[in-house]
Amino acid sequence: MNALLLALTLLASGDVRERAATAQELRAEVFDPAWRLPDALWMPVKDADKLALAVSMPALLSARFEGTQPWMKSFGDIVAEHRRRGGSHRELGGLLKELAAGAPGAHARAGKLLSELLNARELANPAWNPDIDQHDDGMYFGPLLARNKANDEPWRSHSGARTFHQVVTLVHADLDAILGAVHDYASSIRDPGTSYERLEPLADSLLVGASDTLGDFAALRVRVRSDLPFPFTHYDCDLRVLHSLERGTLVTDIYSPSRDFHWFAGKDWYLPVRASDGTWQGTLVVRLSGFDLSGVPDGDDDRKSGTRTALGSVRRRAEASFAAAGGVPRTLEGAIPKFVATVPAKPR
């Protein structure tokens, strides 16, 4: 059986491990780089630095503020101070009041964001319901972004929803733990708020290599089937995943060519959060996502709920895994950590 047929064959048992591949094999078997989400498709024409989290978050992490206390100097310093005080919702209110009084510029720029990112009380609840947008689930949704007109394929021909939604969360875990959580399909199939019938990485489809245009890459295909509410039945999704580096920042592109979707695409950025003295405080994950199921009246709230489910579950698994491994950071930026794609024992 040749490599292409192997890539289209489901692994019956065991986990999917990496295989060295060329750029040509990546394009033919798993992920055509033409499907990477182009900036022009989602970047606001005006005020991108205020509206687009993928633009505003890196700027916020590098900003320095004037304040009455050393811990008010940067976003990372504020995160470190919150953790020093106990790191729960109980300490957050007082900290933000002090920030507003001592560093009003920092509070004006980051107070609302911090109030949601640093309060993950509900996310820690075993009965967490991701269908409900709550202020204490550790995730902050930015404004919807319009999907701009595209002049080039494969984007020009797509119909359906014309918006992207965007969200950010702060994960106290390194890239090794986060990618491990992303690709732990044996656990993801049981995520709250999901109705998966199938969630399986394809055998021999975990490709790693390097190309002149992408640099280092890791890519994977995942076969998905999920139930839909009555009177609909289910949808199928041939999910393609590509990890690569953009100016040293790990990014993840996804898309699906499945006919059950008008279109499906997204991108994650993984940004290290550091205090002003350089000490690492966590990983800020920015997610941009858009999709439209064919023949199903899903709206922006439905799409945001799906994103909340996926990203919140990844955060919970990653933080638990990182803590269990000793909490010592490994890969923080500039590289794609090795990972294994776990396969559910059987469809749910």
CA pair distance 222, 255, nearest whole angstrom: 11
Note whether residue 291 is domain-resident: yes
Instruction: Give SS3 for 330.
Output: coil
**Residue that is written with structure tokens 């895994």 in the block:** 321
> What does 166-215 look like in DSSP terms, one character per residue?
EEEEEESS-HHHHHHHHTBHHHHTT-TT--EEEEEEBTT--EEEEETTTE
Note whether residue 203 is domain-resident: yes
pLDDT at 1 over 60: no
Note whether residue 15 is domain-resident: no
Instruction: Give SS3 for 23.
Output: helix
Instruction: Give SS3 for 309.
Output: helix
In this prediction, residue 346 carries a pLDDT of 57
Q: What is the pTM of this model?
A: 0.92
- Per residue in 291-316, pLDDT (tens digit) is 877 777 666 777 788 899 999 999 99
Contact 239, 252 (CB under 8 A): no
- Per residue in 47-86, pLDDT (tens digit) is 999 999 999 999 999 999 999 999 999 999 999 999 999 9
- Per residue in 231-282, pLDDT (tens digit) is 777 888 999 999 999 999 999 999 999 988 888 899 999 999 999 999 999 9
In this prediction, residue 290 carries a pLDDT of 87
The pLDDT mean for the chain works out to 91
Q: Counting beta carbons within 10 angstroms of the beta carbon of residue 179, is it exposed (0 to 12), middle (13 to 18) or buried (19 or more)?
A: buried
Note whether residue 118 is domain-resident: no
Contact 341, 239 (CB under 8 A): no
Instruction: Give the torsion sign (CA, 94, 98, 100, 101).
Output: positive
- Per residue in 85-129, pLDDT (tens digit) is 999 999 999 999 999 999 999 999 999 999 999 999 999 999 999
CA proximity to 115, closest of 86, 84, 137: 137
Instruction: Give the torsion sign (CA, 15, 20, 24, 27).
Output: positive
Please give the distance of CA 184 from its chain centroid, rounded to a whole number.
Answer: 14
CA pair distance 172, 267, nearest whole angstrom: 20
CA pair distance 237, 235, nearest whole angstrom: 7
CA pair distance 99, 104, nearest whole angstrom: 7
CA pair distance 78, 92, nearest whole angstrom: 10
In this prediction, residue 345 carries a pLDDT of 66
Q: Which long-range contacts (CB under 8 A, 24 or more apart) does 47-54 make?
A: 51/142, 51/143, 51/145, 52/142, 52/145, 52/166, 53/142, 53/166, 53/167, 53/168, 53/286, 53/288, 54/166, 54/267, 54/269, 54/286, 54/288
Note whether residue 59 is domain-resident: no
Instruction: Give SS3 for 340.
Output: coil
Range of the domain at 190: 3-7+20-53+138-324
Note whether residue 100 is domain-resident: no
N- to C-terminal Cα distance for the chain?
29
Q: What is the mean pLDDT of residues 130-134?
A: 89
> What does 27-94 look like in DSSP terms, one character per residue?
IIII--GGGS--HHHH--SS-HHHH-HHHHHHHHHH-----SSGGGSSHHHHHHHHHHTTSSHHHHHH
Here the CATH number for the domain that contains residue 155 is: 3.30.530.20
Confidence grade of residue 11 (pLDDT, cut at 50, 70, 90): very low
| Largest separation between any pair of C-alpha atoms in the chain | 68
The total domain count for the chain is 1
Question: Strand 139-141 relative to strand 145-146: parallel, antiparallel, unpaired?
Answer: unpaired
Contact 271, 287 (CB under 8 A): no
- Per residue in 143-198, pLDDT (tens digit) is 999 999 888 888 888 777 788 999 999 999 999 999 999 999 999 999 998 889 99
Tally the residues of the chain.
Answer: 348
Instruction: Give the torsion sign (CA, 67, 169, 171, 129).
Output: positive
Note whether residue 95 is domain-resident: no
In this prediction, residue 75 carries a pLDDT of 98
Note whether residue 49 is domain-resident: yes
